[in-house]
Chains A and B, each alone.
Chain A
Amino acid sequence: MSTAVAGERQWLRRALDAAMMLVLLVIAWQALYAAVGEVAITSPLGTVVKLAALLHSPAFWRNVSASATALAVSVVIASAAGVAAGLALGFHRFSGIVAEPILTALYTLPKVTLYPLVLLIFGLGISAKIAFGVMHGVIPVILFTMSAVRNIEPVHLKTARVLKLTAVQTAATILAPAVVPEIFTGLRVGFALTLLGVIIGEMFASQRGLGFLIINSMNTHDVPTMMAVIMLLIVFAVIVSSTLLALDRRLHRLG
């Protein structure tokens, strides 16, 4: 849509649709609560109240920072390594062809089964969590980056030569805009998977972090805490992913 009015209308419609979806989910939640009872889950309101209480507790914030640190470091490593590897494999055609089926196979493996190995190598600390996160997140980044490089149109490169651009100029003005949208999509998918990896790692083998909190509260039958942390994670994931998605769409339109 080219007109500004139409664009605004579309945004408004999307926001309304999202709001409606949210309302439906909360209603479903409340209904489930009514059916199953306080023992198994907490009501929406109860969860929000509990979360507010948790946010005042320093112990809670220690867990949050443990997860956040692990997540941040994993994302940085997965993104950097993924883009670097993806660029290399994309530009060196043959390596890319050889590597792709291997990467795709790794992508669909239940990487959780490799966790014991990671723990044996890294021990039970934050480095293991970071390793989990990177393990999950790096592969989509590589695959998308490879694909982005392969999709560079030869005619653009020829144009660069005709215009006698230097390597740096070519990279900056022609290559970068061409590959950035797809690489960004890879980073977006990678982020979601990195988050998943870190959380699962915490659920399995950790004494700290939000994943650990969830399992721990389940073991101590502290249902409200469990639900509050789950809700926090979900909300966080949705907000970040929607933002990334909006950016992604913007990039693809420009590109």
Chain B
Amino acid sequence: MSRASFVRLAVVAGFLLLLELLTRTGAIDNLVLIPPSEMVTQLWSMFRSGALDAAMAESFSNIALAFLLSVTFGFTAGLVIHALPRLRRLADPLLASYYAVPFFVFYPLLIAIFGLNRWPLVAIGFAFGAAAMVIATLNGLDRVPRVLRKVARVHRLGRGEEIFLIILPAASPHLFTGLKLALAYSFIGVLAGEFILSGGGLGYSIAYAYDAFDNQTMYALMFFVLALAVLLNAGLHLWEQRLLRRRRRA
């Protein structure tokens, strides 16, 4: 383990220990924050009792749906926009300002249209994630070296072969970045939506526990969501490193 990794681990562990200390001794009121160890034990017992199952199923399915829609739509749209320069000129300013718009404000509107079910949530997750995938796809396609397209022609590849055998593999590092972002954004979008206004899911459970002054449940769930986000992103990051290790200059 490198020195930096060690220090990093120490910082995080130290921070958690500090929290533990402060909350246990009462320096931080338990009405505000409970000790991390209690969060973990509470979470564990909730797992065991199956209390989380329904919420998890709902959130995860919404996230998965938003993610899949983002990725397929984003990738296809990216391909199409890349192929049509006129469309690209229209789309570029839109994409550049996309994340400046607080899309969340559309959430109540989506509820008004679809009702209080999973579709507004999936739509918000999709709205967040799809643009990242489009942008990443465009970047990846832009950066395919021109010489590789010539190689495709020298080998007399058909259009389909050129796309699957040369262009996609060449663009894959960027496409993978798009996947990572789409997942992170779908995750954030769905959970934030559930939190603000919904009838189920992990986000909703957190908000419900907050309203019910149930700190134990609330913090257990918050810990769960945060740990999940960290693990997901770290996992994807490591996978990306492995996939792309061979392509890095030595």
Contacts and interface: CB of A to CB of B under 8 A. Distances in A.
Contact of A105 (B89, B108, B233): B233
Contact of A110 (B100, B112, B191): B191
A113 B222 contact: yes
Interface stretch (B4-12, B48-56, B147-155): B4-12
A172 interface: no
B222 A237 contact: no
Contacts of B94: 21
A214 B226 contact: no
B31 A227 contact: no
B97 A242 contact: yes
Given A21-B90, A108-B233, A229-B105, 19 more contacts: A94-B4, A108-B188, A111-B188, A112-B192, A113-B195, A114-B226, A116-B210, A116-B222, A192-B99, A200-B104, A200-B196, A203-B107, A215-B196, A215-B197, A237-B101, A238-B101, A240-B100, A242-B97, A245-B96
B93 interface: yes
24 contacts: A21-B90, A41-B109, A41-B113, A97-B4, A98-B7, A110-B225, A110-B226, A110-B229, A113-B225, A114-B226, A116-B218, A117-B222, A119-B210, A189-B99, A195-B102, A199-B102, A200-B102, A203-B108, A215-B108, A218-B108, A218-B109, A227-B109, A230-B109, A242-B93
Interface string B227-250: 001100110000000000000000
Contacts of B75: none
Nearest to A189: B99
- Most chain B CB within 10 A, of A36, A97, A240, is at A97
A108 B184 contact: yes
A117 B33 contact: yes
Secondary structure dominating the interface of A? helix
A100 to B, nearest CB: 9
- Most chain A CB within 10 A, of B102, B107, B222, B230, is at B102
A234 interface: yes
A157 B25 CA distance: 50
B187 interface: yes
B206 interface: yes
Q: Classify chain B's interface size.
A: 35 or more
B106 interface: yes
A230 B93 contact: no
B191 to A, nearest CB: 4
B36 interface: no
A14 interface: yes
B79 to A, nearest CB: 20
Closest 7 CB pairs of A and B: A241-B100, A218-B108, A112-B192, A192-B100, A108-B184, A110-B188, A116-B210
- Most chain A CB within 10 A, of B101, B107, B111, is at B101
Contact of A200 (B93, B111, B192, B218): B192
Contacts of A218: 108-109, 111-112
A143 B7 CA distance: 19
A102 B11 contact: yes
A226 to B, nearest CB: 6
Contacts of B111: 218
Contacts of A234: 101-102, 105
Contact of A226 (B12, B32, B109, B184): B109
A20 B92 CA distance: 13
Contact of A120 (B7, B31, B90, B229): B31
Contacts of A18: 93
B41 to A, nearest CB: 19
Contacts of B234: 105
Contact of B112 (A41, A109, A114): A41
A108 B97 contact: no
A98 B97 contact: no
B203 interface: yes
Contact of A196 (B102, B108, B113): B102
A234 B234 CA distance: 33
Nearest to A196: B102
Nearest to B218: A116
Interface in A173-230: 188-189, 191-192, 195-196, 199-200, 203-204, 211, 214-215, 217-218, 223, 226-227, 229-230
Nearest to B113: A40
Nearest to B224: A113
B105 A199 contact: yes
B108 A214 contact: yes
A202 to B, nearest CB: 10
Nearest to A116: B210
